[in-house]
Structure 1
Amino acid sequence: MFQKKPTTIQEQIQKLKDRGLKIAPEDKADHYLSHISYYRLGEYWHSMQYDKEQHLFKENSRFSDVIALYSFDRELRILLFDVIEKIEISLRTKLIYHLSHESDPWWFANEQLFKNKYELEKTLANLKRELSRSKDPTIKNHRKKYGDDLRFPPAWKSLEQTSFGALSKLYGNLKNTIESKDKIAEEYGVVNHTFLPSWLQSIAQIRNYCAHHSRLWNRNLPGAPKLLPKPPNPWILETQNIPKQHEFLKLYVHLCLMKYLLNTVQPGNTFTNKLDTLFQKYPNVDPGALGMKPNWQNEPLWDIF
């Protein structure tokens, strides 16, 4: 039975000191612990402990390094959220445009276009809830003007209300015979429908981590994206810098996929500079914890602008 009692901030600080974490007055530990929970910060000092059961810290472990890791991770999430937003808006635009022209404005509700009817029903149920809660003037005006039309609003209205995760599921669930599925992949330089679904699912999962302020640093990530054997757009030249299957748990491969798509969505983007600057700002952060490769900035994928 769980019997632990809540502790005060001063008790938390003393407990950390007793376990070997160096905390100086200038670290302002009481301030940070009053705004960032002990449990959340624990995700960052966990790697500093040599005894995970007794929670004992390695020699020279410092509270200031914990805050640096936390701050790095926070700024990394903000950077990635900005990148993913651009990819999300692009994907939404392409789905709406290509499928509405190939089929009709209600293609997303046509089960004949999709492989898995059950998955489509779940996606549409979520979309229906989003639309019912929406205060967007476009949706309100559509209901007012076309109240007798019981269908969803057309794609260019409905799909503006749904998430990146739902968009990635719609794309992945499209039958492989749908021409737009290959067309969209081709426009992103991802060749065909074989590869893009796993990329989008991977990025959608990372977006959820960013949206819920979850740790990305030193985290094993779900998903197994399929890499292109011969990417048509600038990629990675050094064989040792190409992510291996066992490295897909680390963030590096997912960053590469985001950069590859972003180079099409926003030519001349500054993702490389911003990411490199972030590592320079926090020199105590081990890039290896994210799976970064040596001189990753010099690869054609990252250095084309």
Structure 2
Amino acid sequence: MFEKKPTTTEEQIALLKSRGLEISSDSEANHFLSHISYYRLGEYWHSMQFDKEKHIFKPNSKFEDVIALYCFDREIRLLIFDTIEKIEISLRTKLIYHLSHEFDPWWFQNFDLFTDSRALVKTLASIEEELSRSKDSVLNSHFKKHKDDTRFPPAWKTLEHTSFGSLSKLYGNLKHTVKSKDEIAKDYGAVNHTFLPSWLQSIAQIRNYCAHHARLWNRNLPGTVKLLSNPPHDWIKEVPKAHEFQKLYVHLCIMKYLLNIVAPGNHMTSKLNSLFDKYPNVDPNALGMRQSWQEEALWKNNLSA
């Protein structure tokens, strides 16, 4: 049976010191540990330990570097979240526009348009839950006005309150014969329906990490993405190897590729570069960043003419 008593912040500081972590100010460490849990910060000092079982730190490991890693991770999540917001709003708009015109405003609950009926049932259940939590006056007014209509509100009302995860699942589950699936992919420089679903799935997953304040620095990301061999817009010269898909860099590249289309003139490159300048102790390799990544056409330019 697992038995472990809780420790005070003073005991935590003493324990860290006994394991070799340099702490220059006990009061400062006490402040951080009283606002950021020992367990959460442990995700950042784990890489500083040479003996993972006994939790012994490498020489010159400093508590201030742990806090810097934590702050860097927080700020890169905010940058990514801001980027994903723009992509999410664009995807929502395109799904509503293209598919409502190709079919009707209730296309998203038309089982004939989707490959996996069971998956659609789950997605619709999530959408139902999302709508039930919403306090939006437009939705409330719709339900009051159309009590006898058992359908969801039309796409332009329903999907405005649908999560990125549900949107990406709706798109990925569409049959390949649906013309809008290819049209939306082309709008995003993804050529056809083959590639975009995995991009959206990756972004949805990373968005969840951001929304739940989970660590992105030095995290191995599950799953892979399908990459175009010859994208129509600026991309990176060397396509990452399969094992590199676990790192954040290739996923950042996909977001930047989409962002250059959704928001030309964006400042993602300069903001990301400023973060590395602000936190020089952060190893870019922990994110899978390539050397001179800023010089890649993808990161250097916004969108090819």
- Three-state SS of the structure 2 residue aligned to 1:53 is coil
Tell me what 1:272 maps to. 269
Deviation digits for residues 125-167 of structure 1 (CA, Å, limit 9, x no counterpart) = 1111111221101100101111111110000000111100000
Letter of the 1:19 partner, please give it. R
Counterparts in 2 of 1:27 and 1:256: CA distance versus 1, 3 Å: farther
Q: Does residue 249 in structure 1 map to residue 246 in structure 2?
A: yes
Cα separation, 2, equivalents of 1:304 and 1:208:
28
Cα separation, 2, equivalents of 1:42 and 1:180:
46
* Kept in 1: contact 2:84–2:255 (CA 8 A): yes
Cα separation, 2, equivalents of 1:114 and 1:180:
13
Letter of the 1:78 partner, please give it. L
Deviation at 1:23, TM superposition (A): 0.2
Letter of the 1:38 partner, please give it. Y
* Kept in 1: contact 2:13–2:26 (CA 8 A): no
In the alignment, structure 2 segments of 5+ residues that lack a partner are: none
- Three-state SS of the structure 2 residue aligned to 1:248 is helix
Tell me what 1:38 maps to. 38
Cα RMSD for the two superposed structures: 0.9
Tell me what 1:137 maps to. 137
Tell me what 1:101 maps to. 101
Letter of the 1:278 partner, please give it. L
* Kept in 2: contact 1:201–1:223 (CA 8 A): no
Cα separation, 2, equivalents of 1:21 and 1:136:
50
Deviation digits for residues 48-78 of structure 1 (CA, Å, limit 9, x no counterpart) = 0011110000000000000000000000000
Tell me what 2:57 maps to. 57
Pairing 1:185-224 to 2, within 5 Å after superposition: 185-224=185-224
Tell me what 1:4 maps to. 4
Cα separation, 2, equivalents of 1:122 and 1:217:
31
* Kept in 2: contact 1:114–1:173 (CA 8 A): yes
In the alignment, structure 1 segments of 5+ residues that lack a partner are: none
- Three-state SS of the structure 1 residue aligned to 2:298 is coil
TM-score, normalized by length of structure 1?
0.98
Deviation at 1:27, TM superposition (A): 7.3
Cα separation, 2, equivalents of 1:297 and 1:93:
30
Greater CA deviation, 24-33 or 145-154? 24-33
Counterparts in 2 of 1:43 and 1:168: CA distance versus 1, 3 Å: same
TM-score, normalized by length of structure 2?
0.98
- Three-state SS of the structure 2 residue aligned to 1:15 is helix
Deviation digits for residues 219-249 of structure 1 (CA, Å, limit 9, x no counterpart) = 0001210000100001113x3xx31111000
Tell me what 2:66 maps to. 66
Tell me what 1:116 maps to. 116
Letter of the 1:261 partner, please give it. L
* Kept in 1: contact 2:102–2:180 (CA 8 A): yes
Cα separation, 1, equivalents of 2:177 and 2:256:
28
Tell me what 2:15 maps to. 15
- Three-state SS of the structure 2 residue aligned to 1:50 is strand
Deviation digits for residues 241-290 of structure 1 (CA, Å, limit 9, x no counterpart) = x3111100000000000000000000000000000000110000000000
Greater CA deviation, 128-137 or 14-23? 128-137
Cα separation, 1, equivalents of 2:89 and 2:205:
16
Fraction of identical pairs, as percent: 71
Tell me what 1:262 maps to. 259
- Three-state SS of the structure 2 residue aligned to 1:28 is helix
Greater CA deviation, 138-147 or 22-31? 22-31
Letter of the 1:270 partner, please give it. H
Cα separation, 2, equivalents of 1:243 and 1:195:
16
Letter of the 1:180 partner, please give it. S
* Kept in 2: contact 1:27–1:63 (CA 8 A): no
- Three-state SS of the structure 2 residue aligned to 1:17 is helix
Letter of the 2:268 partner, please give it. F
Tell me what 2:289 maps to. 292
Cα separation, 2, equivalents of 1:45 and 1:294:
25
Letter of the 2:292 partner, please give it. N
- Three-state SS of the structure 2 residue aligned to 1:256 is helix
Greater CA deviation, 19-28 or 144-153? 19-28
